[in-house]
Structures are given as structure tokens and as C-alpha cells.
Chain A
């Protein structure tokens, strides 16, 4: 059995006024193996963030099941931590205290959690910024801190909801390379949501393309590019070809999502 089994997942949101409902996800089926880096790719409105929230346990599906190691997901759990697009760091805590949060929740003794947090801060290359508050550091650094915070409790699965969406293009590229390196080191499963095809191809073992209205799995594309992935990966002919092929295949979906026409 796979680490994460998603079976027949539907998500409906009641419409305002109580008349009917909006189907955001329809019959999503996915099996995700331990250690895989899965990218959910799709235009806005395809339900990729909704699916991620359901996997996190924030918002259970209307129908269908999500099983983590054979146990149904019903609520948030420290084995599945989340990195959010808006960082969601606690502004009243220093970087160090933010990263310690999950360890503190597990009752890890103070000295030990300080040490674990420091090693994760080092891992994301924020050494020297432990005592800064989130408002004192840049967006890219905030997201590094958020990644360290999510990794510190050693989750099985790291869920990332458009984590680099709010960053400038250069920082974004740098952080993609950092993430590839960090994940290779941590060996946890990653489910990464994005609407950037390049980002998807660069990071993924498998790209799950989703289509909108209602959100469902459109197609699945294995990415066989060699690891470690780094700046040279982007220059590979296979990388360029795969990116272009994916865009050609996806154009109709994107067009439909942006115009609302079938």
C-alpha cells in the first residue's frame, strides 16, 4: 500500500443563500509513494489548494477517503506539516521560536528543541538570523524559515501550498534549487502545489495536472530528469522539451479556466 491513498475524493462547498453547492473537486484518485515529490499543477480554480487542505486535514472531503499509512485523515497531524504561500509565520516569535514551535508541541525538552531548530535553520541557510522577527527579514528568508519550521518535527509528508508564489522570479528560482537540495537531504514525501509549469518540471518526480470546473485529475506526467536537480537541470534539452510539451498539452485547460468557456 502507498503512503498516501486518495480515493474518490469530492469536495463541495455550499453556495451562499443555501441553494445548491459548488463542486470544487470531483472524483480525485491518487496514490503517492513515500519519498516521492509530487507537484499538483493547474490553473487557478482547479481545486489544487483544496485538495492540499484536505490532505492536511484542515478541510475534510465531502465524499471519498484520504488515507495516510492506512489511517483515514480526519484532522491536522504533525506527520503532515504545511508551508503556506503567505508564510504564516508567527510574527510575535523570532525565527528560532517559530522553528521550535512544532517541537514544543511534542514536548521536546527546551535544550534539545533549541538544538534541533538551529540545525534546521542551518539547513535552510538562515544561520545568524535566529533572533530576528519575521518582519525584520525578506520574503525569501521568511519562506526559508517557514520550511525549517515545517521540517523540524520530521514530518512524513511536507505539504507546500504555492510556497514561492509571492516571491520575485529570481528568489523563486533560488528557492526551488534550495528545496530540491533540502528534500534530497530530508527524504520526506513532498506534495507541492503550483501553477508554474517550469517549477513543476524542475521539482517533481511526478506532475499531477489538474483541470478546473470541477477540479479533477487531468493527466499524470512522470519526470525522469536526473537528480540532484540544480541550475544545470534547466539547461537540459529534456527539461526544455518536457516544459514545452506540458504547456502544449495544458493550453486548452488553462484557456478554459481563464475564459470560463468549455
Chain B
């Protein structure tokens, strides 16, 4: 019945929305019936109130901006370093032999395990967050760039070389665009990991941001602000991923079409 009214995509959207509404309704009911502790898990309406309050006094936006700035800086640094290392190691197997073991040794260390050192090195503020986001995001960028560069069609490189491509032109016009379809998912993952890292970093080593907001609200036992912050984190993470997907479609249109055929 839904399909005939809204089509397949529309009805999928409506069903998803109904699922969310239903969950919220049950949650709200349980709260009204006093079956869940309002401090341990505030009701949806209380959380909504917290969202509205923190929006109207500007604090939520301030925290969001602080977190996003840290992610952008950290991920940009990671992209620069990861792309450079990926192209370098992907092109030179000798450099790769020197660098791969140390990179592989550092890679499995969870970014959060770097937090104590990050605080000792950079104190409290933006710097440790930049660093932790960088640590989380650099490996996905590196790995995807490295394997992308190594897997570029040999004949495309040969074609560029016989046409007289200079090393700079080879990197800029062939290796990077040729690797982009594989680099892009890596960047998307990097942004996702970076977002998680920034929240983790702010729980401990910052005076602002969404992570700081939920940590601070916990100390004040204002759990409705904790949940409001969590919701903001989820929504923004989702939006960033969606934005990257759109960007990917715009920047690597040939990939989309070759998948289709």
C-alpha cells in the first residue's frame, strides 16, 4: 500500500521514520509510567528540551564548531601526510621497505591510547585533539593511497611516460586522479575515525567541544544534556559521511559509471 502511494524510496523512508518514532514513543511512555529512572535515562521530551535550551543559548553550536574545527584540522594534516607517504611508498619499493614495518607497528595502536602522551606533549586545548584526530585519520588515508597507487594500471603510467610526462605531471595528472576512486573511501573512513577521535580527545583533554560537553554534563548529573550531545555527535557524523558520498560522486564520476557497466 505504501509503495503505490510513495514509490519504493519514499516508502522505505517512511518506514524508517515510523521505526524511529515508535522507539521514541515507547521510550517516552516508559518514562511517563516511571518505569525508567529519569536521571539514568532521560525521556525523549526532556532531551528535546535540552537540545532546544542549548541551541537557544548558543552553547551547542559553540561546542559543535569547536569539535568540527578540530576534526577538519586533524583530518587535513592526516590527508597531507597520508597522501604524501602513500604516493611515495607506492612508487618506490625501496622507501616502502624502510617505512612499511614502522608504519605497520604503529597502526594497530588505538588513537585513544595516545591520549596520555598527547596531554603530556601538548597540554590541554586544541593541540592534543588535532594530534589524536591526526593519528586516527592518517592510517586510513595512507593505506588507501598506497594500495591505490600500487594498483594503478601499468599501461596508464606507461602511456603517460611515453607522452613525455614530467614527474610532477605524472603525480598530479595520473597517479592522484587514478588513485582517487580508492583514496576517497579511505578519506571517508578517515573523517569518520577522526570524528570519533575528537570526541574521545575532548572527554579528557579539552575545555570545549561535544566530548567536553557530555563529560561536563555527566559531572553535573545533567544526563539530558549528555544525551543531547550524543545525538548531536551522531547527526553530524551521519551528515559528514553523506557529504563525502556526494563529493565522491562529483569528483570521481567515471568510477560510478564503470561500476554500472
Contacts and interface: CB of A to CB of B under 8 A. Distances in A.
Contact of A104 (B153, B169, B252, B257): B169
Contact of B163 (A57, A86, A135, A149): A149
Given A90-B178, A92-B254, A58 B161 contact: yes
A136 to B, nearest CB: 8
Interface in B132-169: 153, 155-156, 158-166, 169
Contact of B258 (A56, A81, A91): A91
Interface string A74-87: 01111011101010
A82 B258 CA distance: 24
Q: From A102, A106, A133, A134, name the one whose CB has the most chain B CB atoms within 10 angstroms.
A: A102
Contact of A84 (B159, B173, B254): B159
A36 B153 CA distance: 31
B19 interface: no
A101 interface: yes
Contacts of A105: 160, 163-166, 169
Nearest to A97: B173
Contacts of A136: 257
Contact of B164 (A88, A133, A135, A153): A153
B178 A78 contact: no
Nearest to B163: A102
Interface residues of A, number: 31
A92 B162 CA distance: 19
Tell me if A's interface is mostly helix, strand, loop or mixed.
loop
Contacts of B252: 92
A149 B254 CA distance: 19
A169 B75 CA distance: 51
A77 B162 CA distance: 5
B254 A56 contact: no
B253 interface: yes
Given A58-B158, A90-B174, A102 B164 contact: yes
A92 B257 contact: no
Contacts of A134: 254
B4 interface: no
A244 B36 CA distance: 91
27 contacts: A56-B158, A58-B158, A58-B162, A76-B158, A76-B161, A81-B162, A82-B158, A82-B159, A82-B162, A86-B153, A88-B155, A88-B159, A90-B159, A90-B177, A90-B178, A92-B180, A92-B254, A93-B173, A101-B160, A105-B163, A105-B165, A105-B169, A106-B164, A136-B257, A149-B159, A149-B163, A153-B164
Given A57-B162, A105-B166, 18 more contacts: A58-B161, A58-B162, A75-B161, A76-B162, A78-B164, A81-B162, A86-B153, A90-B159, A90-B178, A91-B254, A91-B258, A92-B252, A93-B173, A101-B165, A101-B173, A105-B164, A135-B261, A153-B164
